[in-house]
Structure 1
Amino acid sequence: MHDVMVPNVNIGLVGHVDHGKTTLVSGLTGVWTDRHSEEMKRGISIRLGYADATFYRCEKDEGEEGYSISPDCPVCGEKCAPFRTVSFVDAPGHETLMATMLSGSALMDGAMLVIAANEPCPQPQTKEHLMALELVGIKNIVIVQNKIDVVSPQDALKHYKQIKAFVKGTIAEDAPIIPVSAQKKINIGALIQALDTYIPAPERDPGATAQMLIARSFDINKPGSNWRDLKGGVIGGSLTQGAIKDGDDIEIRPGIQMQVENRTVWKPIVTKVVSIHTGERKVAEATPGGLMAIGTKLDPAITKSDMLVGQVAGHVGELPEILDHLTFTVKLMDRVVGSGSELDITPLKHKEPLMLSV
């Protein structure tokens, strides 16, 4: 039986810059996901942010009022029972960081499309992020109409109609639209109820070969640390299948890039798992669903500054072979991403650089 305190689903937050995604995650989890110094300085998300939240439900209060992020019922004050823990992936909304958002979409089982009520809909990255969700096939979507506390009821209704017109004919046409104020935590119960209804945990196969998608990698040692206290590198991400236990030997592919006889080759990395964390909780085994951090015996120089992002971890000898030639079908987006203006897609040109989301 699944432990409700361990996350089993990854929910992405996507949408235009400054529409309140990080504030919403903070309101749901108590964690401010912009931890990087440049993010603090500029006031925007640059890297993928992560946080877990446990949701509670009161048996006495039916409907949205009974859902809460607190073990104490906001209506009757009685103790609530935890029923679900989820991991949130906070994707950047700035147009120059679209690649980061696309890489994060590989981890998402569902998504919240956050749209601020105090700006006309759609904004450029609102359109781009919805296109991205369609491209990668994320169908479980909840639309969050944020910042309803700074507009009048009439303007909120007008904005709601703009959202309905925008999503008509898209993958999010039938998605619920939940009005909230992330800043003042208004209507959070209704949002939790919608997430429970519309973004269920997908079926996983814990008995399959382990495959972990790496979305972050870190050096957790502070400058000036004593060499005796140094910790190995940390990888963060999500298991799509299988399980990894504390003490397991794991392999990371494709690994380290090397030059051999004027050719670029990749050498897989082998290391040992020394710790596994989900949120603030240390666990003995990582299972599919939810986000986790795995401590290893790797040299931190290999994992620092997200150097292993996009790689795959699993048990030694059980990962797919490394390929240097691929044949695939390309589906281009409807407009140029990462641009503040509307630019049409033109036919591909020889030697033109492309950003691929596979």
Structure 2
Amino acid sequence: MSSLEHISIRVHSSRAHKCEDEKCPRPSCYKAYGSGKEDAPLCDVAGFENCRMKLLRHVSFVDCPGHDILMATMLNGAAIMEGALLRIAANESCPQPQTSEHLAAVEIMRLQHIIILQNKVDVAINQHEAIRKFIEGTVADGAPVVLISAQLKYNIDVVCEYIVKKIPIPERNFISPPNMIVIRCFDVNKPGFEVDEIRGGVAGGSILRGVWKVNQYIEVRPGIVVKDESGNIKCTPIYSRIVSLYAEQNELQFAVPGGLIGIGTTMDPTLTRADRLVGQVLGEVGSLPEVFVELEVNFFLLRRLLDVRTKGSEKQGKVSKLAKAEIIMLNIGSMSTGARVIAVRNDLAKLQLTSPVCTSKGEKIALSRRVEKHWRLIGWGQIQAGTTLEVPSVHVLLCDL
């Protein structure tokens, strides 16, 4: 796997506003601002400069790179999305090799709300029909296609309006024990810090359900994973405490589902350095799913690699059946892990994982295979059963700072 596949997912947030005066013309009455603390900016449309902008929605964005070697990163980011902006460059033919793959990933991750952005319309706009033909029969069929220029900020107000009107706010679960997928983690300490200045590790992600509060105790699974001399895998969950909650630069006392949250903890910062906990699950102590080392999945394979330009014969583009002892890559939530195929029968496969995964039965997964030195999406599946790892139940705080 290329080291580039470990590039962090880039995240940022924005606020969608609308002019309070109903006479303010569309789409100029819509505008996006950064997620600072300013609550009511003034409208900048001529004739409405004295009107306040009304906050409609906070939106968090996960920027998924389009390069083929970063497909695993894209799938990890899609695990927490509730809508998608599929950007297509107007000065290139449609679809490009990765565009079909990204659209398939959107379908695998069960995203129903899609807006297509035809970018670089200041350069060319002659591919609208090609885009419509490309999305026909897919989950994006009927999705709005917005012509934009990111460089010139052309039609960004239209995109803002579509996000507000076309992507509904999902129902949130505030009652269940809190649960969060980690998509980023890092050490905020700088070289030369004194001992009393050192802060614990930070984990970033999206809360799936429940409510986090400052000073709440948390558990991270699988936690610290090691192999003994016999090759047996052991994992020790990390137990810690929340010391801060952030949404962008805004400090919170509690955090609810939706958007991207940064959680400051009492964990040893070396545990969160360089995204080491990405793919793990963070939750209330004693409430997390089991940790699996083997999975039984019901799977479906694509007939062909999605618009991948392969060299040589036509057969190279076809997706062959899973073979016993083959190594594939799985994306489960925000975790990317290798897996060895132990057995295959019809559309059922038993897979031995390279790294243990905290997940649940019924969870959807993406399957990728190494093709010409890159991991290519070949299908998806659903977890039916598996072999779990015994997890120590001793509740201790690791390096509580």
TM-score class normalised by the smaller sequence:
0.7 to 0.9
Residue 157 of structure 2, aligned match among 175, 189, 201:
189
Aligned to 1:215: 183
Aligned to 2:135: 167
Aligned to 1:289: 258
Q: Distance in 2 between matches of 1:245 and 1:334?
A: 47
Aligned to 1:204: 172
Q: Distance in 2 between matches of 1:94 and 1:144?
A: 18
CA contact (8 A) 2:100 2:307 kept: no
In 2 relative to 1, CA 244–208 (structure 1 residues): closer, same or farther, beyond 3 Å? same
Residue 96 of structure 2, aligned match among 102, 123, 137:
123
Q: Which amino acid aligns with 2:329?
A: M
CA contact (8 A) 1:96 1:338 kept: no
Q: Distance in 1 between matches of 2:324 and 2:134?
A: 35
TM-score (norm 1): 0.83
Aligned to 1:314: 283
CA positional deviation for 1:46: 3.6
CA contact (8 A) 1:111 1:142 kept: yes
In 2 relative to 1, CA 338–223 (structure 1 residues): closer, same or farther, beyond 3 Å? farther
Q: Deviations over 1:260-308 (max 9, x none)?
A: 4621021111001111100110001111010010011111111111111
Q: Distance in 2 between matches of 1:340 and 1:293?
A: 39
Aligned to 1:63: 26
Aligned to 1:81: 54
CA contact (8 A) 2:100 2:306 kept: no
| Unaligned stretches of 5+ residues in structure 2 | 34-40, 311-315, 332-364, 366-401
Residue 144 of structure 1, aligned match among 117, 135, 158:
117
Aligned to 2:271: 302
In 2 relative to 1, CA 277–51 (structure 1 residues): closer, same or farther, beyond 3 Å? same
CA positional deviation for 1:346: 1.0
Q: Which amino acid aligns with 1:258?
A: V
Choose 1 or 2 for highest CA Rg: 2
Q: Distance in 1 between matches of 2:303 and 2:219?
A: 38
> Of Structure 1 and Structure 2, which has the larger fraction of its residues in strand?
2
In 2 relative to 1, CA 333–280 (structure 1 residues): closer, same or farther, beyond 3 Å? farther
Question: Are positions 1:349 and 2:349 aligned together?
Answer: no
Q: Which amino acid aligns with 1:288?
A: P
Query: Would you identify which runs of 4 or more consecutive aligned residues in structure 1 move more than 6 Å?
Result: none
Query: Which residues in structure 2 correspond to 1:98-137 (within 5 Å)?
Result: 98-137=71-110
CA positional deviation for 1:333: 4.1
CA contact (8 A) 2:6 2:73 kept: no
SS at match of 2:297: coil
Aligned to 1:95: 68
Aligned to 2:396: none
SS at match of 1:150: coil
Q: Deviations over 1:142-165 (max 9, x none)?
A: 0011111122xxxx1x31111001
SS at match of 1:228: helix
CA contact (8 A) 1:95 1:337 kept: no
In 2 relative to 1, CA 72–186 (structure 1 residues): closer, same or farther, beyond 3 Å? farther
CA contact (8 A) 1:277 1:283 kept: yes
Aligned to 1:3: none
Residue 276 of structure 1, aligned match among 227, 231, 245:
245
CA positional deviation for 1:72: 2.9
Q: Distance in 1 between matches of 2:166 and 2:218?
A: 35
Q: Which amino acid aligns with 1:189?
A: D
Q: Distance in 2 between matches of 1:64 and 1:245?
A: 38
Aligned to 1:52: 13
Question: Are positions 1:245 and 2:213 aligned together?
Answer: yes
CA contact (8 A) 2:201 2:265 kept: yes
Aligned to 1:176: 144
CA positional deviation for 1:126: 0.9
> Of Structure 1 and Structure 2, which has the larger fraction of its residues in helix?
1
CA contact (8 A) 2:97 2:306 kept: no
Q: Which amino acid aligns with 2:90?
A: A
SS at match of 1:317: coil
SS at match of 1:324: strand
Q: Which amino acid aligns with 1:344?
A: K
Q: Distance in 1 between matches of 2:130 and 2:188?
A: 45
TM-score (norm 2): 0.74
CA positional deviation for 1:197: 1.6
SS at match of 1:282: strand
SS at match of 2:274: helix
Residue 232 of structure 1, aligned match among 197, 200, 217:
200
CA positional deviation for 1:326: 2.2
